[in-house]
Chain A
Amino acid sequence: MRRSILSQPSVIIVLLLLTAFTVAVVGMSEAAGGTLSTSLVKTLGMTLCLCLVAIAMDLVWGYCGILSLGHFAFFGLGGYMVGMWIMYARTEQIVVQAAQAATLPPTPQEIRDAIGTQIFGVVGGARIPPIWTFADSLWIQLLLVVLVPGILALVFGWLAFRSRVTGVYLSILTQAMTLALSLYLFQNDSGLRGNNGLSGLQNIPGWESTPQSVVSIYFFVASAIALGAGYVLAAWIVSGKFGSVVRGIRDDEARVRFLGYQVEHYKLFVFTLTAVIAGIAGALYYPQAGIINPAEIAPIASIYLAVWVAIGGRGRLYGAIIGAAFVSLLSTWFTGGRAPDINLGFATIQWVDWWQVLLGVAFVCVTLFAPKGIGGLVDYVVRKP
């Protein structure tokens, strides 16, 4: 009896716009002989990934009412997992190539040692840490993109929701989680190269002969597909009774319990699912960014995520896309040094610094005067029956 998810107007419009945008960007890219620079294509592809993690944030916060300020940790973990394979496989190629010049063929152990020195020399190590055990297998690392954020969210969520930690306490706990993870990764012996992070992630092993302009298109299209699929999945699960229950949990958790629903199970489900989506988004983002380091999952990143969703409008999915795209692109523009400075005579507003102030003011204004965010404008156009 449930209408097909693909018949919802908002889903159709989002998918059409996304398709049109993808076709336009691909058509105008350098790879297709257009004028759109490769770095801009990468920025746009990364923006699509941010939109995907924003959808996850909207599911967990806008629909289920859990203000998680730690979802960027899952995003970062996804990036690290795929980054490990890229770095390992790429370094292996280089090592093997270099060894071909030697008179004796190297033993597998020698190759492994050389890879270890190459990757971990920067943090004063040479041994490959145990967490890199599967780094040579793309498929296992891709599985870990889903499993590592998923399991972390499952354990963390189980502990938190079981103890009925809610509201601001839960937000603080999630901040603590992402801070702890970030501090841990900053350590040189964490096994993930400390503050150097993983780099050279734009060089995808196996695609050496493919120019970056083409690689960027591959990732851009993959990001667009992931965003479209994530949007449809999210819209699908909130369209039926599950959506009713999670919105009920957001509005009156106790009442949902008295209806016989195990609120903790629902929260855990949403928390874990969104962590997995965030992990996938991160796995697509960082090969386009080229580098990941622990600063990426600093507490502020997850707060930005909440700000995007608030500015875009909570509880409407497309609001998350609008907010993430709008704010992150503006941020790129303002901090990229292309925004003209304003000379006030006694002081100069340099947008690289003042952008944060502008964003803060915008956030306060949206919270006070437009709690529905930018997406709320849609309500003026479409009068609900």
Chain B
Amino acid sequence: MSALLEVAGVSVAFDGFKAINNLSFEIEEAELRAIIGPNGAGKTTFMDIVTGKTRPDKGRVTWGPSNISLLRKSEAQIARLGIGRKFQRPTVFEDQSVFDNLVMALKKPRGPMSAILYRRDEADTDRIHALAEEIGLTKELARRSGELSHGQKQWLEIGMLLAQDPQLLLVDEPAAGMTVGERQHTTRLLRDVAKTRAVIVVEHDMEFVRALDCRVTVLHEGSVLAEGTLDHVTQDQRVIDVYLGRSGER
């Protein structure tokens, strides 16, 4: 068994504050994983390291069957290797239509010349309509994405993530600002995607994590505190002390 992504002994400090402290983490090729932890536990920094936004002070991050190191790669190179990211605050290109946002995300050659010479074919159009159907934005395709509601922007960003066709999806708080029905849809979608790809979900909402029904990694002060099923970690005394007890959630 080879891990798709392996993070080993990674540390990073900002002005002396250790945001990530000797963190190790692995995920398989088709696995759904939830990462939980209190504020400041290093969840976002972890994602920044994997996606190349932050360079760790030490440790290694390797990717794929041939264990390519991601440490010297740029954000764009890492994205092209097949790691997609959805941000906590939905960031779509508000000035452009939903359709154009999806076109930009479609997995295609990314160079300037290929973008200039790009001609959308039937298959691409079909793919965009299928994605729009999936994220419930078929009627909004021609609209400027800045006009969408918060929840719809969340969906659009999920759609853009799917359009990239990544092997690993990093999803930061997908359910924030969604209705109950939408949460269920998101849950279904993520579980579905995780049948063929790796998905890492960072989430605060315990109900949502429970519905995902997957392995859970608890981060605390930049390292892994516990790992296992949700029931397993929620019974861990240390987890209760640092996280669950304090925030008052079940």
Contact = CB atoms under 8 A, between A and B. Distances in A.
B110 A261 contact: yes
Interface string A236-265: 010011101101100110110111111101
A1 interface: yes
A248 B105 CA distance: 11
A34 to B, nearest CB: 42
B160 interface: yes
Interface in B206-226: none
A237 B116 contact: yes
Interface string B52-92: 01000000000000000000001111011000110100010
B93 A252 contact: yes
B76 A262 contact: yes
B115 A245 contact: yes
B76 A261 contact: yes
A1 B125 contact: yes
Contacts of A237: 116
Interface stretch (B3-11, B29-37, B94-102): B94-102
Interface in A86-128: none
Contacts of B84: 258
Contacts of B122: 1
Interface string A255-280: 10111111101100100000000000
Contacts of B103: 241, 244
A251 B95 contact: yes
Given A1-B125, A262-B76, A248 B112 contact: no
Contact of A257 (B75, B112, B118): B75
A338 interface: no
Nearest to A315: B95
A2 interface: yes
B250 interface: no
Interface in A182-229: none
Given A1-B120, A240-B116, A245-B104, A262 B85 contact: no
Query: What size tier do the contact residues of chain A reach?
Result: 20 to 34
A262 B104 contact: no
Contact of A265 (B111, B119, B160, B164): B111
B121 interface: yes
Contact of B93 (A244, A254, A257): A244
Given A247-B95, A248-B96, A255-B91, A242 B112 contact: yes
Contacts of A247: 93, 95-96
Q: Which of A241, A248, A385 has the most CB of B within 10 A?
A: A241
A259 B115 contact: no
Given A244-B100, A244-B103, A265-B111, A258 B85 contact: yes
Contact of A262 (B74, B94, B142): B74
B51 interface: yes
Contacts of B105: 259
Given A245-B104, A247-B95, A252-B91, A263 B76 contact: yes
Contacts of B93: 244, 247-248, 251-252, 255
Nearest to B125: A1
13 contacts: A240-B115, A241-B103, A241-B118, A242-B118, A244-B104, A257-B79, A258-B75, A259-B164, A261-B110, A262-B76, A262-B77, A262-B111, A269-B112
Interface of A: 1-2, 237, 240-242, 244-245, 247-248, 251-252, 254-255, 257-263, 265-266, 269, 385
The 7 closest A-B pairs by CB, nearest first: A260-B79, A257-B75, A242-B115, A260-B80, A269-B112, A241-B118, A1-B120
Given A1-B122, A260-B76, 12 more contacts: A1-B119, A1-B121, A1-B125, A240-B116, A244-B96, A244-B104, A247-B93, A247-B96, A251-B95, A258-B75, A260-B110, A385-B142
